[in-house]
Amino acid sequence: MSDFRIRGLATLKAKIAAIEAGGRSEPKFLPFGDERIDGCLPGGGLPLGRWHEIGGTGIEVETAAAPTAFTALLAAPLTQQGEVVWVLRRDDLSAPGLLGLGFAPERLIQVCARDEAEALSVMEDALATVGVAAVVGETEVIDLTAGRRLQLACEKQGATGFLIHRRPYGGQARRETTGSAAATRWRIASAPSEPRAGEFGLGAPRFVAELERCRGGRTGAWLFEATDAYCWEKTDVAHPLRLVADLGDRQLAPAQPLRLAG
């Protein structure tokens, strides 16, 4: 591509972004601090002021443990900017567990909704509120209209939404909607940890994160480690998630991710 065309493309992209932002303030991003993943995301980081879908695999569709931990790690830096509202359907979220991952529970407001529609409307309400930095919601499915409404609510104050897909216990699988207004869609699975040399027990929690959809960016799959989990000292990294390995674009090998990690 010629220099001229590249520049033309960049201008065009900026224009589209400006139209999408609708004259609102500059979009912000939360970089992971590793080029291997930031390069795939538009703007060099997780877009803030948008909403993100996070799903699990296998039994995690019902328990949502790994997606929860991953979301808490993603949202942990946002607790310094304001409150985080977590909209639950089952109140089994444990604040001490979130604290262990570096997520400040004193900024967390938990809300237990009675049904899916209520969960979504509470999310929407919270996203549009001044002083709320992020909203995490747990619902099974979300349709295009509801997704678009969430997006509009995100844009009002620049809050970031996270939607964890979670099926009620023993519920029948519902058809997943294909289209979505979300900025990114992730599928998270726990991965075996690697204790440091000379240490016993479990290492820092690891996750295989597959970026299934990404507006204005590329998809991919990575192995992350929450290096600072369960200790007071903080290592000198910007993001609580450290990238261990790039698992390639859509070539996830869940059976043996360890080998790739080595």
Joined tokens for residue 147: 């997704």
26 binds other proteins (CB under 8 A): no
In whole angstroms, the minimum distance from the beta carbon of 153 to other proteins comes to 12
The amino acid at residue 20 is: E
Q: Which of 113, 153, 209, 252 binds other proteins (CB under 8 A)?
A: 113
125-150: b or e for each residue (b if 16 or more CB lie within 10 Å)? ebbbeeebbbbbbbbbebeeebbebb
Q: Which among 183, 191, 184, 185 is positioned nearest to 245, based on CA atoms?
A: 191
Q: How far is the CB of 6 from other proteins (least distance, A)?
A: 37
Among 28, 61, 116, 118, binds other proteins (CB under 8 A): 118
Residues 21, 27: contact at Cβ < 8 Å?
yes
Structure tokens, 229: 């989990």
The 45-64 contact track toward other proteins, x by CB under 8 A, reads: --------------xx--xx
172: tokens are 């029948």
When asked if residue 98 is in the footprint of other proteins (CB under 8 A), the reply is yes
Q: How far is the CB of 207 from other proteins (least distance, A)?
A: 8
Q: Report, in Å, the least distance between residue 91 CB and other proteins.
A: 8
Whether the CB-CB separation of 161 and 150 falls below 8 Å is answered with yes
Site string for other proteins, 61-90 (x = CB under 8 A): --xxxxxxxx-x----------x-x-----
Radius of gyration of the chain (CA): 18
Q: Which of 37, 20, 18 is nearest to 221 (CA)?
A: 37
Nearest distance from C-beta of residue 188 to other proteins, angstroms: 8
Q: Which one-letter DSSP state was computed for residue 145? A: H
Q: Which CB sits closer to other proteins, 108 or 142?
A: 108
Measured between alpha carbons, how far is 234 from 236 in angstroms, rounded to an integer?
6
CB of 63 to other proteins, least distance (A): 6
Amino acid at 50: R
Indicate which single residue of 116, 125, 212, 246 sits in contact with other proteins (rule: CB under 8 A). 125
Contact residue for other proteins among 28, 33, 45, 129 (CB under 8 A) = 129
* Residues lying near other proteins in the complex (CB under 8 A): 59-60, 63-70, 72, 83, 85, 91-101, 105-106, 108-114, 118, 122, 125-126, 129-132, 189-193, 195, 200-203, 205-206, 208, 229-232, 254, 257
